Structure 1
């Protein structure tokens, strides 16, 4: 029979998974349009094809996508994230909590480095589950015509490119690197800043404090990882010339982008990424913390 402590651990794992999944679902629904904008701006080259709409900034992209493709186009590619992100976020937070004891390095309590390392490791592990869904999502988001059906995109990719690094797992190295760097910064900055900024007694102000800190941590993590995210989008999205693979590996993609489009191109989509991940990350992390505490206290 399981001991009481083992049952408690299992119960906590259930709440961690459920709280992570619910907070992830809410965040996806609210902020997916900015993910579409980020993808469009990152795959946009220095010399757009004739007749192709050019996006100058996130607001310009939102207006033009709405004008030429309709309001629903801002939610292109949302099916893959909903299918995978909700359970994935639950699994990520569960792994994050489970890995923390292994990165305390003798400290009596988890340190910011503990949170950074465990968050980064959990994100690396989730990359192998998420990559096929990312490829399908970006293919849908990049398409400027009518909305592509998710299953049709999956079948097309498998038929023409297969399951490996040329198909559903293309861009896996860029995704692993992006996730590792982003989550190291996100969880590390959040917990470091939370320890520095004093906690007010008023609950409302305390929630606001956490939201601001989480938003700032998300934004800093975006700056750290945006170049890797740009490379990932270019590798996973449609190639500039049909039938020719220009973007295949992370380092070569970054080098060619820098050479052809200049230093600023390495930060393409940063504004949209901060607008999407800054408040989105704040909502995700703070919602997770409060949902977890609520579920645990209710003993559902």
Structure 2
């Protein structure tokens, strides 16, 4: 049996989104050292300071010598955490602005331009707090040498926050999965078929909060779970570095 147009479209959309997300994350990881160097140059006020960077090569040498390899990845967590919400906000607000502009007699090209401008401004407002945190971390020239207890709590907090944010972003998809896999409302009639159509149906019939059912237990499981995974990874990696 051939797949319907909506299923094929959704499958193509999901593949495209998956590729876009992975591409963005890889780009962040590869290009972040240049972003750190860029930030250091931008906040540098006096070139006569002996600790100031003279050139691109000099900045790379000084950061590596004084802060180690991880100095190039200071502040990488905020852009990684912001990537998915940023994309979601941009696409969602773009569609909403288009709908609002539909009530005004504008040409399609102008409608798209204004909607794009509005979504870009909204995205900037949402992402700005992450950027502030990122720049603050990148500006710090100290090595990652902290009190062991504070370092443990810092890593646990980062893992807990990451797991919580991931749960909030992921829960609508989890609800859709449960509706599709679970018993249908009317026996013999398949109401929930595809992911995004299921989410739209739940939203229309039960409201936005229905897409967040089960959020608390999911956070209670994945929040601490993310913290534990990060801690196990960090300390295992450190142990292997020291002993192998």
TM-score normalized by the length of structure 1: 0.38
Q: Which has the larger radius of gyration?
A: 2
TM-score normalized by the length of structure 2: 0.45
